[in-house]
C-alpha cells in the first residue's frame, strides 16, 4: 500500500506544479493534520487560515473569533491573502486549510491564488459528522491537548463554529462543487487511513482531469 501511495503522490505532485489544493472540513475534522502531511508529501508549503488569523489576533489583540464566529471578510483578506505573494513560497505548491470560509470570499481567493502563480486546482472536503467532531472535541477537552485556543474552550463556542460552517462555509463548498473542483474524502477513520483516502481521491481526480487549470 505504501509503494502504491508513493507512486500516486508522485503523479499528484507533478500534476500540481506550484498550484494549490484547498482543504475544508468541520472543526476537529483533521484538515490541518492531513494538510500538513500532504504538504510534506508533495514538497509543498502549508497555509492555514485559522493559524494565520489566530497569530494576527494575538499580535493585534483583536479577538474576532473568540465567540466562534468567522473573521470579517475585509480583515480576512488583509491578514490572509498576502501570504500567496510571499517570495519564499513562489516555487512551491501550496496546501491550504480553509482559505476562504465565508460565502463570497471564494472568487477573490481563487483570483489571488492564480495571480500569485498558485492556482487552486482542486478543493477537498473532509467528511465527518457533527456528532463525531463533537465527540472528538469532548475527548480533546478532557485531555487538554488543544493548547490555549480560546475558540475551543467552551462547548457553546465550539457549537457556534459548527453553525458557522453550516451556514457560511457550506455555500463555498457548493461553489467549488458546481465548478467541478470539489472532491469528497471520508475522514471518519484513523489518520493513516484518512491520508490514504485523500491521496486516492486526489489521484482519481488527477487521472480524470489531467490538464485541469482554473479558468474564469
Which tens digits make up the pLDDT trace of 81-138? 999 999 999 999 999 999 999 999 999 999 999 999 999 999 999 999 988 888 888 8
**Residue 144 has what pLDDT?**
61
In a domain, 10, yes or no: yes
In a domain, 28, yes or no: yes
Answer whether residue 181 shows pLDDT above 80: yes
Mean pLDDT of 46-67: 88
In a domain, 216, yes or no: no
In a domain, 86, yes or no: yes
Distances from the Cα of 159 to the Cα of 73, 135, 149, 195, angstroms: 21, 12, 15, 26
Which domain, by its residues, includes 156? 2-208
In a domain, 213, yes or no: no
- The phi and psi torsions of 203 (rounded to 5 degrees) equal -60, -45
- The phi and psi torsions of 29 (rounded to 5 degrees) equal -80, -10
CATH number of the domain where residue 180 is located = 3.40.50.300
- pTM of model > 0.85: yes
3-class state of residue 157 by DSSP = helix
Geometric angle at alpha carbon 23, from 133 and 155, rounded to 5°: 25
Amino acid at each position: 500500500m505504501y509503494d502504491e501511495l508513493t507512486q500516486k503522490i508522485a503523479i499528484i505532485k507533478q500534476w500540481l506544479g506550484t498550484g494549490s489544493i484547498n482543504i475544508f472540513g468541520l472543526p476537529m475534522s483533521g484538515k490541518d493534520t492531513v494538510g500538513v502531511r500532504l504538504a510534506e508529501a508533495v514538497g509543498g508549503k502549508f497555509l492555514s487560515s485559522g493559524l494565520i488569523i489566530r497569530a494576527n489576533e494575538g499580535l493585534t489583540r483583536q479577538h474576532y473569533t473568540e465567540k466562534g464566529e468567522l473573521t470579517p471578510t475585509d480583515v480576512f483578506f488583509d491578514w490572509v491573502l498576502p501570504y500567496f505573494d510571499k517570495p519564499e513560497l513562489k516555487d512551491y505548491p501550496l496546501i491550504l486549510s480553509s482559505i476562504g470560509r465565508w460565502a463570497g470570499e471564494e472568487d477573490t481567493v481563487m483570483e489571488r491564488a492564480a495571480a500569485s502563480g498558485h492556482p487552486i486546482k482542486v478543493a477537498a472536503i473532509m467528511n465527518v459528522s457533527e456528532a463525531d467532531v463533537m465527540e472528538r472535541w469532548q475527548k480533546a477537552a478532557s485531555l487538554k491537548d488543544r493548547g490555549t485556543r480560546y475558540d475551543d474552550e467552551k462547548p457553546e463556542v465550539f457549537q457556534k463554529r459548527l453553525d458557522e460552517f453550516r451556514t457560511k462555509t457550506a455555500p463555498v463548498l457548493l461553489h467549488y462543487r458546481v465548478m467541478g473542483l470539489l472532491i469528497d474524502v471520508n475522514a471518519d477513520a484513523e489518520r493513516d487511513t484518512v491520508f490514504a483516502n485523500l491521496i486516492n481521491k486526489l489521484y482519481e481526480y488527477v487521472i480524470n482531469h489531467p490538464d485541469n487549470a482554473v479558468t474564469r
